[in-house]
Amino acid sequence: MSDTAPPTAPSGELAAQPPMPVRRLHNYVYCPRLFYLQWVENIFEENADTVVGSALHRQADQPSRLTDERAAGLREGLPEGANVRSLRLESETLGLVGMMDIVEGGPDGTCVVDYKKGSARRLDDGSRVAKQPDAVQMAAYALLLREHGTSVESAAIYYAEDKRRVPVALTEELFALARTSLAEARAVAASGKLPPPLINDRRCDFCSAYPVCLPRESAWWAQARERALNDDAQLRLSFPGGELPAEFTGEPPSDYDPLPPPRPPRDDGELLVVQKPGSQVGQRGGEFVVTVQGEVVRKLPLHQVRAIYLYGAVQLTAQAAQSCLENGVDVGYFAASGRFLGLLRGLPASGVDARLGQMKLFAEPFFRLKLARECIRAKISNQRTMLMRNGDVPDRVLRQLAEARDATADTRDLSELLGVEGAAARLYFEQFASMLKGAEWKFDFAGRNRRPPRDPVNAMLSLGYSVLAKELAGVCHAVGLDPFLGFFHQPRYGRPALALDLMEEFRPLLADSVAISLINRGEVDPRDFIRAASGTFLNEQGRRRFWEAWFRRMDTEVSHPEFGYKMSYRRMLEVQARQLWRVVRGDAPVYHAFTTR
């Protein structure tokens, strides 16, 4: 079914909410947190189960033509064997809207039927009964039909895994549960507060929203409130009136301690990079098709692509653009030199709560300073780690970087923090050349330069930073944050300040690491660069080699410093953005930047 728009004001009256889709009521009974993410935040993630479920429903989702005779039959009772498919009904009285898979005439009267991918709940005696969220969904459908004058005598769910129908007893107790659940769900939607996550619950293992919900990570962040309260006086400065939110006070719930290691979320989808001048990206059937002068050079199934990057004079057809918007495929536009120009993507997650919190808290100087301190601390820590791993650096420099890292905690404003960050950057880049080894061609690197880069090393660094900024701008947009409202970098026209803030901790580990890897592996040489009066840039062959190294690095698995599990760097970017999303919403008191050993 096509859901109606979710609530747009977290503190709105219940009566102001639009009719709730029955599927969202099902979500609430299954997990209130899932309900909130999908209904209020408008965040929906596909997984294998949802894809299979959608395919199963295609058989039922062929709406019947509702003639006057058939409409009368619904009210008076369909004859046995007659049916109506994909019947959509809405009730202002109930505050519900739903699309029933099948309404059919049975031997005892009208029966409503729904299709489910999984299996029914098996009892000890071997019999099967409908799961509670499924049963509540059927009761809601029956209430809708009754509201429109159709008396429903029975209900059933076809479970595809069991290959059988399981009857649902439409008792008064079930109807009461459906009404109570609907009232509770509407109250949760109006509260503007994301419900707490389930802990050690099997439902999480099958939930498509796991990569967004991050239940175990969220629980860990909730535990951090004790550390955040150590400096109560300063923390109060972050909130209007000096009053701490209720969720930041008291003891952490006992459910949160101890926590098992969280399992890493999924990470899938390919990145399609097209940079040959005159190329065109089109869409035929279920595939993206890349052509050069009419000749097909590559095809990729639409569902396997997570993003498309276009360099220079490359065209994207209208059909391909619409498919990208409909399927959540980002399209990044870059100049031929590698400079990030902009991003094409569909409407974002509603993100109302997060964006309101972002605007309010980012206007608080101390809150901005706290976030900036943590990101710069992690950046300096990771720079020091890179030099220890790859360079030949005097102990004096490592000691000075450690002192700069620790000094971030004592900075009193953003200007002072910027000074600490600048001093650490000078130390780091002074020693950068010590990490470049075994190159046949001597790279001329005397320091960081840009706009334009004047040597090959800086050309690769600039391209890496540009791509990383694009990645994080898309991630911020996807999780419901405003990528242009930063806390360290100042907002400026066309500048994704928040993406630049988040990329600080990842600069050394991704962009710098890729440049060092390309040089030390001998994967680039002078023929891969264009030297011109306007600067030094990678040519088409050089960019191809850069992308190979970039993909390799982004797919590298690294241990999370807090949770212990491994995930790719690409997935780590989203985990960090979602952590910040929780901070600005008020679900977590502090942000923990990513560092590696």
Give me the CATH number covering residue 174: 3.90.320.10
- Domain membership of residue 522 (yes or no) is yes
Paired tokens of 515: 């440049």
Residues 503, 542, single domain; the answer is yes
Residues 433, 546, single domain; the answer is yes
72 pLDDT exceeds 70? no
Residues 251, 285, single domain; the answer is no
Paired tokens of 320: 């391909």
Residues 23, 163, single domain; the answer is yes
- Is residue 540 exposed (0-12), middle (13-18) or buried (19+ Cβ within 10 Å)? middle
**Which of 206-215, 229-238, 343-352, 428-437 tops mean pLDDT?**
428-437
442-462 confidence digits (pLDDT tens) = 555 555 655 677 778 888 888
Q: What is the DSSP letter of 479?
A: H
311 pLDDT exceeds 50? yes
Binning pLDDT at 50, 70 and 90, where does residue 297 land? confident
Contact 546, 510 (CB under 8 A): no
Residues 436, 291, single domain; the answer is no
- Domain membership of residue 370 (yes or no) is yes
Residues 339, 362, single domain; the answer is no
Paired tokens of 597: 């050993």
480: left (phi over 0), alpha (psi -120 to 50) or beta: left
pLDDT, residue 379, reads 92
300, HSE (Cβ side, Cα atoms, 13 Å): 22
Binning pLDDT at 50, 70 and 90, where does residue 258 land? very low
341-383 confidence digits (pLDDT tens) = 777 777 665 556 677 777 887 778 888 888 889 899 999 999 9
Give me the CATH number covering residue 537: 1.20.120.920
Residues 289, 393, single domain; the answer is no
- Domain membership of residue 197 (yes or no) is no
540-566 confidence digits (pLDDT tens) = 888 888 888 888 898 888 887 766 667
* Structure-model confidence comparison of residues 201 and 152, the more confident one: 152
385-408 confidence digits (pLDDT tens) = 999 888 888 888 899 999 989 888
Q: Which residue has the tokens 């479970």?
A: 159
* Structure-model confidence comparison of residues 529 and 76, the more confident one: 529
- Domain membership of residue 223 (yes or no) is yes
Please compute the mean of the pLDDT values over residues 264-286 and round it to a whole number.
74
Q: Which residue has the tokens 């769910």?
A: 157
103-112 confidence digits (pLDDT tens) = 888 777 888 8
Please compute the mean of the pLDDT values over residues 321-344 and round it to a whole number.
77
Q: What is the DSSP letter of 245?
A: P
Pairing of strands 270-274, 305-311: parallel
Residues 22, 83, single domain; the answer is yes
Cβ-based neighbours of 364, under 8 Å, separated by 6 or more: 237, 238, 239
The domain total for the chain is 4
38-54 confidence digits (pLDDT tens) = 887 766 554 334 433 44
pLDDT, residue 410, reads 84
Query: Domain range holding 298?
Result: 273-344
Q: H-helix or E-strand containing 209? A: none
303 pLDDT exceeds 70? yes
Residues 322, 375, single domain; the answer is no
* Structure-model confidence comparison of residues 400 and 263, the more confident one: 400
Query: What is the C-alpha to C-alpha distance for residues 383 and 385, in angstroms, rounded to an integer?
Result: 5
